[in-house]
């Protein structure tokens, strides 16, 4: 009778050990799979910046947009085509005038303010106004203006009875 109890105990112990073994294998296997997936995700993430580097490099020059009321001396306005952020053909004369005004006032900065109207999608319009200001900034930098002297102002909606052309402008103002 003791042999039968010992045999039952022995079977119970082996079953318990088997269950513990399978639980350990499951836990260790799960950890290995998690680590493997984490390694794959890390590898995939490490390759993405190399692919996206040009976009990051292009976005790096943009700085925080200034907020607040318009102030300073108006140097000029550049009017853009509807839905476009490319500089118009007549922008060269305004760029030259701005470069001269900045040379005459070396202690002052230039604030570029993009405008848009209230029609259509507000986010798209604001982005278009920002892209217009960025195009002006790039052109001024190419003309020799120090990038540290150029600030961008948050895009603003043109309201009231202004013409459609007034809603598609970038204003250039010298500020202290």
How do the domains of the chain map onto residue ranges?
Answer: 1-60, 73-175
Residue bearing the bigger pLDDT, 141 or 61: 141
Residue 118 has, within 13 A of its CA and on its CB side, a CA count of: 5
Contact present, 132 and 114 (Cβ < 8 Å): yes
Looking up tokens 């292009």, which residue turns up?
58
Q: Is the dihedral of CA 86, 92, 93, 96 positive or negative?
A: positive
Contact present, 142 and 148 (Cβ < 8 Å): no
Confidence of residue 42 (pLDDT cuts 50, 70, 90): low
Least confident of 24-33, 134-143, 166-175: 24-33
Q: How do residues 93-143 score in pLDDT, each as one tens digit?
A: 999 999 999 899 888 889 998 888 777 788 888 888 889 999 999 999 999
Backbone angles phi, psi at 174, to 5 degrees: -85, 130
Q: Which tokens hold the place of 65?
A: 């947009």
Domain 73-175: homologous superfamily in CATH: OmpA-like domain (3.30.1330.60)
Contact present, 18 and 26 (Cβ < 8 Å): no
Distance CA 24, CA 36 (A): 18
Q: Write the CB contacts of 173 (distance below 8 Å, at least 6 apart in sequence).
A: 70, 71, 72, 73, 74, 75, 110, 111, 113
Single pTM value for the model: 0.59
Confidence of residue 66 (pLDDT cuts 50, 70, 90): low
Q: Does position 48 have pLDDT exceeding 50, yes or no?
A: no
CA distances from 75 to 48, 118, 171 (A): 43, 25, 8
Distance CA 116, CA 170 (A): 9
């Amino acid at each position: 009778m003791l042999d039968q109890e010992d045999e039952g105990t022995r079977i119970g112990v082996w079953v318990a050990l088997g269950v513990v073994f399978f639980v350990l294998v499951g836990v260790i296997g799960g950890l290995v799979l998690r680590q493997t997936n984490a390694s794959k995700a890390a590898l995939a993430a490490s390759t993405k910046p190399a692919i996206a580097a040009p976009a990051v490099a292009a976005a790096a020059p943009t700085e925080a947009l200034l907020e607040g009321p318009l102030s300073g001396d108006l140097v000029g306005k550049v009017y853009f085509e509807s839905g476009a952020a490319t500089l118009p053909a007549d922008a060269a004369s305004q760029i030259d005038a701005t470069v001269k005004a900045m040379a005459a006032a070396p202690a002052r900065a230039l604030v570029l303010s993009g405008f848009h109207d209230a029609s259509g999608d507000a986010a798209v319009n604001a982005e278009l106004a920002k892209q217009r200001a960025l195009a002006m900034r790039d052109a001024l930098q190419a003309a020799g203006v120090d990038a540290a002297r150029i600030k961008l102002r948050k895009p603003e909606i043109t309201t009231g009875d202004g013409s459609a052309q007034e809603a598609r402008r970038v204003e250039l103002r010298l500020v202290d």
